[in-house]
Amino acid sequence: MELVKPDIGLLFWMTTCFILLLVLMKKFAWGPILKALNEREQGIQTALDQAEEAQKQISEATSRVAQILEEGKKEKEKLIKETQIELSEYKKEQQSKINIQMDAQLKSVKDEIAQQKRAAIGELKNTVAELSIDIAEKILKKELENPNQHNSLIMDSVEDLQI
């Protein structure tokens, strides 16, 4: 029966030593070990979360870049179109401006020509009248006393010339 009869000495040592072991292990071993394990697990978890977050941000950024590129492309096409339209409008406008200007110039040139022509004609008329007067004077000096009668007579005849 020695097998199942606990020995007082071993009972005493087992109780005291085990309690001592428990206290020492709790304070110096399990405390720090479990704390460190916990912290490391939390650290790993946070790192994983952060990595996931970063992944998400990267994919978001990538999609945003693609979006921006797409928008840029559209903008470019729009700008080109607008510019083309503007350019053709501008061309038309310029063309019409030039036309108007040219018309105006042409008109003023024509007017001047007409004016010059009229002036020349007027002058010519006067010169002819004077010449006629001179001629008539010289002719009628001997025949007429009143030069004014002669003058109007000549003027009438000049008007009748119809140049």
Partner 1 sequence: MMLRFFVGLFFLTTIFYSSPVFGASVGGPGDGNEKFQPGDMIMHHILDAHEWHILDWKGHAVSIPLPIILLHEGKGLKVFSSSKFDHGKSTHQGYKLVYGKTTSIEFVNEDGSNNVAETAKIWDFSITKNVFSLIFSILILLFVFITISKRYRKNKNKAPSGIQSLLEPIVIFVRDDIAKSAIGEKEYKKYLPFLLTVFFFIFLNNLLGLIPFFPGGANLTGNIAVPLVLAAMVFIITTLSGKKYYWKHIFAMPGVPKPVLLILTPIEIFGVFLKPLVLMIRLFANITAGHIIILSFFSMIFIFGEMSPVAGYGVSVFSGLFVLFMMTLELLVAFLQAYVFTLLAAMYFGMAVEEH
Residue ranges that bind partner 1, judged by CB under 8 A: 2-15, 17-18, 20-22, 24-26, 28-34, 36-37, 39-40, 43
Beta carbon of residue 42, minimum distance to partner 1 (angstroms, whole number): 9
Nearer to partner 1, 34 or 106 (CB): 34
What is the chain's alpha carbon radius of gyration, rounded to the nearest angstrom?
62
The whole-angstrom separation of Cα 83 and Cα 93 is 15
Nearer to partner 1, 21 or 139 (CB): 21
Beta carbon of residue 34, minimum distance to partner 1 (angstroms, whole number): 7
The whole-angstrom separation of Cα 104 and Cα 112 is 12
Residue with tokens 């024509």: 110
Instruction: Tell me which residue of 132, 136, 154 sits closest to 144, measured CA to CA.
Output: 136
CB count within 10 Å of CB 121 equals 11
Beta carbon of residue 38, minimum distance to partner 1 (angstroms, whole number): 10
Beta carbon of residue 48, minimum distance to partner 1 (angstroms, whole number): 14
Nearer to partner 1, 44 or 65 (CB): 44
